[in-house]
């Protein structure tokens, strides 16, 4: 009986030694707060953003940007979410968004301007106006009435309450982090850590207490070996911890005691091998384009790569820490949350996860692969007789006895309802191990709550 999938995708052990409750594959599905498996929702195109670039968001409005020309915005396609086209005073056709944050309810957007139409390779805009933050960082974060940016070895910051003013002497200024620690020469990004700022380089993270008075800024801690090369792939999560992407996998900076001193944990270890293979097989450019996002409502953490998403379902009450993977049939350029929805931009297309209602499904095939289980008797053959399961939706069930050829599988049947009262599946064969596989079909939702295999020991091995 497997009645709890709380382990989620976990490839730390081989398929022959992984325990029941973990999965070798969990594609286009997630683990629910009850430890069951549910098919993911659909990515539905809701608007056409032709004539614009980038994507940003406040609490209730999406923003895309135009290059010096006003363009009328269409509907966002999602009730309660506005879509605003903000015109930036820059006509460079190569002008692109690198990051954004919000300040006082408005968008502060950071760009790259390769042909220097604005006179700056790194222009910053607030409410559509060029700010003095230009050339002070491609990645920014609002904190404590200031906007902070990182560039090279410097942490820059604006004046108090005025993100357009970056003039030294008005509360604005910079700190050379490489004078604090040798690994601070190549700063990549920054994120809020409890009541402090965590500033990442490619090799380490410095945690700073920052103040409206620049003279009171103090380095609290250096975490070596805790860097990232993916500038958009760090995110405050939970009560104040930070999840971030390193080349070894997804890691967490979390408080180790009441002082909030940081320590690095391995929350992503079940998918370390998967993440490392992404880097090896797809290269640094693909890897460094990753973006971290927190799904509203449910609170799942998404690590978004250009065409796939690693999803963390973390529910402390029922003790669930489970990873899964979404495949995405289009390249992801930008990702934001707004009005309780996740929005992705691909080229000129705007997609909403779950569509306009947040509850739309499509014909994407969810895939579940259970490890090769032996009922704790790996040296003994079992005679298999039947299979039961609790499901909703439509599932095709397959099995593999061939652990030396794990892609070899046979179909046991297709099912649309629980099988416990006479509808069990025929499951015949003799082997020491078995690996069940479940595949969704149809365009509706689907869940798998549990499954049971009926067997007896071979007579001469009982």
What's the pLDDT tens digit per position in 322-364? 999 999 999 999 999 999 999 999 999 999 999 999 999 999 9
What percent of the chain lies above the pLDDT cut of 90?
Answer: 91
Token pair listed for 19: 């325990």
For residue 271, the number of C-alpha atoms closer than 13 Å in the C-beta half-sphere is 29
Q: What whole-number distance in Å separates Cα of residue 419 and Cα of residue 448?
A: 12
Separation CA 82–CA 106 (nearest Å): 13
Is residue 369 predicted with pLDDT exceeding 90? yes
Lowest mean pLDDT among 54-63, 238-247, 281-290: 238-247
- The model carries a pTM of 0.96
| Whole-angstrom Cα Rg for the chain | 25
Mean pLDDT of 226-246: 94
Could you give the CA distance from residue 321 to residue 317 in angstroms, rounded to a whole number?
A: 10
If asked whether residues 95 and 199 sit together in one domain, one would say yes
Domain total of the chain? 2
At residue 102, does pLDDT exceed 80?
yes
State the pLDDT at residue 212: 93
In a domain, 2, yes or no: no
Measured CA to CA, the distance from residue 21 to residue 9 in angstroms comes to 9
Single residue among 313, 330, 353 that ends a domain in this structure: 353
**Residue where one domain finishes, among candidates 353, 379, 406:** 353
Residues 337 and 397 in one domain: no
Q: How confident is the model at residue 461 (pLDDT cuts 50, 70, 90)?
A: low
pLDDT bucket at 264, cuts 50 / 70 / 90: confident
pLDDT for the residue numbered 259: 65
Following DSSP, what letter does each residue of 155-186 receive, concatenated? EEE-BTTBTT---BTTTBEEEEGGGT-TTTTS
Last residue of a domain, one of 319, 353, 387: 353
Residue 359 is assigned to a structural domain of this protein = no
Q: How confident is the model at residue 240 (pLDDT cuts 50, 70, 90)?
A: confident
Residues 158 and 255 reside in one and the same domain:
yes
User: Does pLDDT of 459 surpass 80?
Assistant: no
Residues 110 and 255 in one domain: yes
Residues 235 and 294: beta-carbon distance below 8 Å: yes
Residue 257 confidence (pLDDT): 65
Buried b (16+ CB within 10 A) or exposed e, 190-229: bbbbbebbbbbbbbbbbbbebeeebeebebbbbbeebbbb
Residue 162 and residue 69 share a domain: yes
Of 162-166, 168-172, 252-256, the range with the lowest mean pLDDT is 252-256
User: Which residues sit opposite 110 in a β-bridge?
Assistant: 99, 124
* Domain, as residue range, for 29: 8-40+366-461
Quick one: what percent of the chain has pLDDT higher than 70?
A: 98
Average pLDDT value over all residues in the chain? 95
Whether residues 167 and 314 share a domain: the answer is yes
Q: Do residues 160 and 269 share a domain?
A: yes
Residue written as token pair 């930008």: 334
d(CA 409, CA 396): 12
Contacts of 357 (CB under 8 A, 6+ apart): none
Q: Is residue 221 part of a domain?
A: yes
Q: Give the mean model confidence (pLDDT) for residues 133-154.
A: 97
The answer to the question of residue 271 being in a domain is yes
């Amino acid at each position: 009986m497997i009645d709890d999938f709380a382990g989620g995708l976990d490839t730390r052990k081989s398929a022959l030694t992984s325990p029941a409750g973990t999965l070798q594959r969990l594609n286009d599905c997630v683990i629910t707060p009850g430890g069951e498996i549910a098919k993911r929702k659909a990515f539905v195109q809701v608007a056409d953003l032709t004539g614009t670039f980038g994507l940003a968001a406040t609490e209730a409005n999406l923003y895309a940007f135009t290059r010096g020309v006003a363009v009328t915005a269409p509907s966002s396609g999602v009730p309660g979410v506005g879509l605003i086209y903000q015109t930036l005073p820059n006509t460079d056709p190569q002008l692109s968004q690198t990051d954004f944050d919000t300040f006082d309810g408005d968008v502060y957007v950071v760009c790259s301007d390769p042909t220097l139409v604005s006179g700056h390779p790194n222009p910053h805009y607030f409410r559509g106006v060029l700010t003095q933050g230009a050339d002070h960082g491609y990645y920014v974060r609002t904190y404590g009435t200031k906007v902070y940016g990182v560039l090279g070895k410097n942490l820059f910051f604006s004046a108090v309450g005025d993100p357009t003013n970056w003039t030294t002497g008005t509360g604005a200024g910079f700190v050379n982090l490489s004078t604090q620690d040798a690994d601070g020469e190549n700063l990549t990004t920054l994120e809020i850590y409890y009541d402090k700022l965590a500033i990442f380089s490619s090799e380490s993270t410095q945690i700073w207490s920052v103040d409206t008075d620049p003279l009171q800024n103090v380095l609290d801690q250096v975490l070596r070996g805790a860097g990232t090369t993916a500038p958009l792939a760090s995110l405050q999560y939970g009560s104040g911890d930070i999840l971030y992407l390193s080349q070894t996998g997804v890691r967490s900076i979390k408080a180790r005691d009441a002082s909030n001193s940081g320590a690095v944990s391995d929350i992503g270890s079940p998918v370390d091998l998967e993440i490392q293979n992404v880097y090896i097989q797809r290269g640094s450019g693909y890897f460094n384009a990753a973006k971290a996002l927190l799904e509203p409502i449910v609170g799942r953490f998404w690590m978004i790569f250009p065409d796939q998403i690693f999803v963390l379902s973390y529910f402390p009450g029922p003790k669930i820490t489970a990873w899964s993977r979404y495949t995405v049939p289009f390249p992801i350029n930008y990702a934001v949350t707004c009005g309780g929805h996740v929005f992705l931009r691909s080229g000129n297309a705007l997609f909403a996860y779950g569509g306009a209602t947040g509850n739309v499904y499509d014909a994407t095939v969810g895939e579940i692969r259970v490890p090769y289980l032996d009922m704790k008797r790996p040296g003994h053959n079992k005679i298999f007789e039947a299979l039961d399961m609790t499901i909703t939706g439509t599932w095709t069930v397959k099995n593999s006895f061939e652990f030396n050829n794990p892609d070899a599988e046979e179909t046991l049947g297709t099912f649309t309802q629980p099988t416990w009262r006479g509808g069990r599946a025929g499951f015949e064969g003799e082997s020491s191990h078995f690996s069940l596989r479940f595949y969704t079909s149809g365009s509706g939702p689907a869940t798998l709550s549990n499954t049971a295999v009926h067997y007896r020991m071979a007579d001469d091995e009982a």
